[in-house]
Amino acid sequence: MNKSERIQACYQHCCLKYVMGEMMTNQSFRERLGILNSKASREAVSRTITTTLEKKMIRLNAPENSSKR
Q: What is the per-residue pLDDT across 14-67, written as a single tens digit (0 to 9) for each?
A: 999 999 999 999 999 999 999 988 999 999 999 999 999 999 999 988 766 655
Question: Other CB atoms closer than 10 Å to residue 41's CB: what's the count?
Answer: 14
Residue 34 and residue 66: Cα distance in Å, rounded? 27
> 3: which residues sit within 8 A by CB, 6+ positions away?
48, 51
Name the pTM for this structure.
0.85
